[in-house]
Structures are given as structure tokens and as C-alpha cells.
Amino acid sequence: MFSEYDIAFKGLAEGVHTYHYEIGPRFFEQMEESLVDSGELKVDVELLKQTTLLTLKFNIKGTVNTSCDRCLEPLDLAIKCKGKLLVKFGEEYDEPSDEIVVLPYDAHQINVAQYIYEFIGVNLPIQRVHPNNSCNPEMLQKLEAYTIAPADEDATADPRWDELKKLLDKNK
């Protein structure tokens, strides 16, 4: 599925190796339950191979398309991020932290597609809305029509609590 994102490290000389990827809509279509609908990004991966460790540095730039949280219209967001992944070797596959992966000793390649997707996802803003109130006005009207106004707290206060508050105030 994502074989073009496989990086074979067995047989590579120690040192720095660079890989370039162009990510388009197909990449996000293949991800299950993707937060991103489509996008056009350039990804540079720098692999530093050492005797017992691989260091992968990701540099991601481009634009992704997602839905506005407020009006549900398409929204383009600029993405510019960097990430780092350390690859160690051990008996079996493990991910002890977000930045460390342990591959089995007999592994000969690593697929970076999921890591690229995760770096993009982590760098999306928490609230994704159109800037400068440029949301679809029709959807905003519908949203307002279905929004429940906050209840007036004083009107719903239990009179017994009011009496207890008066007792507390007397004791001060």
C-alpha cells in the first residue's frame, strides 16, 4: 500500500542519506479515518545511519485540506513542521515513546508513511476554522438556530441553597 515510503537501511553505508517525497490526495485517501481530506506536501527525510541507531529527521512543507470545524466547508491549512524519529534495534518491535521505535534485529527497512501522517496530524491546529470570519454564512445561521442558549443560573437556583448561603454569611 505505501511501499514507496519504505526506506531500506540494510547495506547502506554509515552516514547521512536523504529521501524526498511528494504527498498528494492519494496518500490521505489511503489512511483510515484521516483528519485530512487531501493535500499537497513536500517531505524531506534525512536518515543518519550509525552502527546501532538510525536517526530520521523529517521536514514537511505544504498545504492540507480539511473541514472547517464551524461551517464544515473545505479549509486549506499551511503546514510547515519538523520531526525526529530514533530507530533502535531489539528483540521485537516496540514503540517506547512517540520519538523512539525499536525494530527487530533482522529488520532491513522502515516504512515512514505513518510517521509522516502523524507529524502532519500533530501539527494541525486544535480548532480548524476559516480566518477572519469567512465561514459560510448560511451554515452559521443554521448553527445559531440550533444552538441552545445557556440557562440563567439565578432562575433555576434552589431556594434551599439560598437559605444555607445566608446562614454561612451570618457566621462570618
Tell whether the model's pLDDT for residue 124 goes beyond 70: yes
Give me the chain's average pLDDT, please: 88
Nearest in space to 55 (alpha carbons), one of 107, 97, 14, 11? 14
Report whether 65 contacts 38 (CB < 8 A): yes
23 pLDDT tier (thresholds 50, 70, 90) = very high
User: In this structure, what DSSP letter does residue 127 have?
Assistant: S
Weakest-pLDDT range from 12-21, 56-65, 69-78, 135-144: 135-144
Question: For the residues of 71-121, what is the DSSP string, one character each?
Answer: T--EEEEEEEEEEEEEEEEESS-EEEETTEEEEETT--EEE-HHHHHHHHH
Tell whether the model's pLDDT for residue 148 goes beyond 80: no
Q: What's the chain's Rg over C-alpha atoms? A: 25
Hey, where are the domains in the chain? Answer: 3-146
Distance CA(19)–CA(13), nearest Å, equals 15
pLDDT in the model for residue 154: 55
Q: What is the pTM of this model?
A: 0.77
Q: Which residues are within 8 A (CB) of 154 and not within 5 positions of it... i.e. 6 or more apart?
A: none
By percentage, how much of the chain surpasses pLDDT 90? 54
The pLDDT tens digits for 61-117 are 999 999 888 888 889 999 999 999 999 999 999 999 889 999 999 999 999 999 999
